[in-house]
Chain A
Amino acid sequence: MKWHVLRPLWVAIGLVGALLVARVFLVPDDFGVHGRNFTYGFYRLSNVQEWKDFPVKYQGREGCVECHDANVETLNASSHAPVECENCHGPGAHHPDDIESLPLDTTRQLCLRCHAYLEYPNSARGSLLSIEDKRHRRRSECIKCHNPHDPKEDMR
């Protein structure tokens, strides 16, 4: 047996060795099987915390009421009570520091999301109080006449 035959094999083994050494430096320490099994739970553990730390933007009505209790009270008593403040006012978690981050939407287009009449039988949409966009004061913003915090108090 001529031993030179094995030279390519040494080269191959050298490459595998280099890869294994590289793994030690390049693979994060917490990479491995952490969940159910290798198929669904092979990952870098610290990524879970990274996702948990993703910044929250929508704070919810409980956040708004701390300062804007009067408005929230009016809203809660109205037929718009189910509508979240932030649906119209924008995500509020950062606005005390950065007022620019609160883009109040007062457009007709926003109201039409629910109140444009779609003649859909047996759909919840069909039963909402609504207007025909093309017929009802086309050029005007809804809030000129309607108060979104208390829509029953109709014409201002």
Chain B
Amino acid sequence: MTCSRRDFLKDAVGGTLATVMPLSAFTFLSTAEARTAVEESKVRWAFLVDTNKCVGCGLCVKACKNENEIPYDAEVTRTWVERYVITKDGKTHIDSPMGGRDGFTSMEVDGEEIDPDNIEKAFFVPKLCNQCDNPACVQVCPVGATYQTNDGVVLVDRDWCIGCGYCIMACPYGVRFFHPVHKVADKCNFCYHRISKGMEPACVECCSFGARRIANLKDPDDPVTKIITTERVAVLKDEYGTKPHVFYLGLDANVR
């Protein structure tokens, strides 16, 4: 898989550059340079969420907002926790007040009291950017203000984003929003400033239950990578062909 993937990438880079280069007078790297850039990276960041372990304390959301300077009371967030309560009548009750920033401390779901005896199952699902291999948000950016780094993380260039919102529309997971201060598109980047220094993302560090973990898929000795490669993991909304890189353990069919 890894081997054929690399070959595929080589072809993809070469082919695309060949098609695109004559289109305009950009300062492109040569094909060889681009290849080196691709091969250099020994990192492919991915994420593992164990929904069995999440208790819905929301401390990850709090940490994320503080760490990434997302205004604390603004109703947008780079990561959030959803609560699913499935009752015996087959109904699914979902909520995520303030993105779960203040945790879940009451039995009420979205203002509705639910009788505990009537609950079939209930669980929490943390969500964040999937850092897709084929990010739809990047494809649709008209100016190249959002892009995928060589280690798989999708970033937004705050100095170049024009704020058209097309990427927000294109993301099937709803992870993007307009930053209320900078007025540009914003999203989770696995705390790129932390992982590139060898630290864990803020949400991972602040999770007391090990529900959130970061992995380098290109390192076969990474314990989290081992879980992703050897255990039965699922991803969200596979049908869009985005190849998401946030993997879930214990993902329920009711999760949207």
* Interfacial residues, chain A to chain B (CB-CB below 8 A): 20, 23, 27, 29, 31-44, 47-48, 50-58, 60, 82-84, 86-87, 90-91, 109, 112-114, 116, 118-125, 128, 133
Q: Is B59 an interface residue (CB 8 A)?
A: yes
Q: When chains A and B are docked, how far (Å) is the Cα of A105 from the Cα of B193?
A: 26
Q: Is B233 an interface residue (CB 8 A)?
A: no
Q: Which of B164-172, B174-182, B200-208, B220-228 is found at the contact surface with chain A?
A: B200-208
Given contact pairs A47-B160, A109-B102, A35 touches B148 in the complex (Cβ within 8 A): yes
Given contacts A90-B66, A122-B123, 5 further A-B contacts (CB under 8 A): A41-B34, A44-B159, A54-B68, A91-B66, A123-B124
Q: Inside 8 A of B197's CB, which chain A residues have their CB?
A: 52, 56
A114/B57 in contact, CB under 8 A: yes
B105/A123 in contact, CB under 8 A: no
Cross-interface CB contact of B193 among A55, A122, A128, cutoff 8 Å:
A55
Q: Inside 8 A of B124's CB, which chain A residues have their CB?
A: 123, 125
Residue of B with least CB distance to A112:
B105
B17/A40 in contact, CB under 8 A: no
The residue among A38, A57, A84, A112 with the most chain B CB atoms within 10 A of its own CB is A38
Majority DSSP secondary structure for residues of A touching B: loop
A56/B122 in contact, CB under 8 A: no
Kindly provide the distance from the CB of A93 to the nearest chain B CB, expressed in whole angstroms. Answer: 9
Q: Inside 8 A of B123's CB, which chain A residues have their CB?
A: 120, 122-123
Kindly provide the distance from the CB of A142 to the nearest chain B CB, expressed in whole angstroms. Answer: 13
B66/A123 in contact, CB under 8 A: no
Q: Is B255 an interface residue (CB 8 A)?
A: no
A47/B155 in contact, CB under 8 A: yes
Given contact pairs A60-B205, A125-B55, A39 touches B25 in the complex (Cβ within 8 A): no
A36/B107 in contact, CB under 8 A: no
Q: List 22 A-B contacts (CB under 8 A).
A: A33-B26, A35-B148, A35-B150, A40-B138, A40-B147, A40-B148, A41-B148, A43-B147, A43-B157, A47-B160, A52-B192, A56-B67, A82-B210, A84-B208, A91-B66, A113-B57, A113-B59, A114-B55, A114-B208, A120-B119, A123-B121, A123-B123
A35/B105 in contact, CB under 8 A: no
The residue among A55, A90, A118 with the most chain B CB atoms within 10 A of its own CB is A118
B138/A39 in contact, CB under 8 A: yes
Residue of A with least CB distance to B134:
A40
Q: Inside 8 A of B148's CB, which chain A residues have their CB?
A: 35-36, 40-41
A124/B54 in contact, CB under 8 A: yes
B37/A35 in contact, CB under 8 A: yes
A82/B34 in contact, CB under 8 A: no
Q: Mark B130-155, 1 if CB is under 8 A from A, else 0.
A: 00001100110000111111100001
Q: When chains A and B are docked, how far (Å) is the Cα of A53 from the Cα of B192?
A: 9
Q: Inside 8 A of B157's CB, which chain A residues have their CB?
A: 43-44, 47
Q: When chains A and B are docked, how far (Å) is the Cα of A53 from the Cα of B144?
A: 21
Q: Inside 8 A of B199's CB, which chain A residues have their CB?
A: 56, 60
The residue among B28, B55, B68, B145 with the most chain A CB atoms within 10 A of its own CB is B55
B55/A123 in contact, CB under 8 A: yes
Q: Inside 8 A of A29's CB, which chain B residues have their CB?
A: 27
Q: When chains A and B are docked, how far (Å) is the Cα of A146 from the Cα of B17?
A: 63
B66/A31 in contact, CB under 8 A: no
Q: When chains A and B are docked, how far (Å) is the Cα of A149 from the Cα of B148?
A: 42
A58/B63 in contact, CB under 8 A: yes
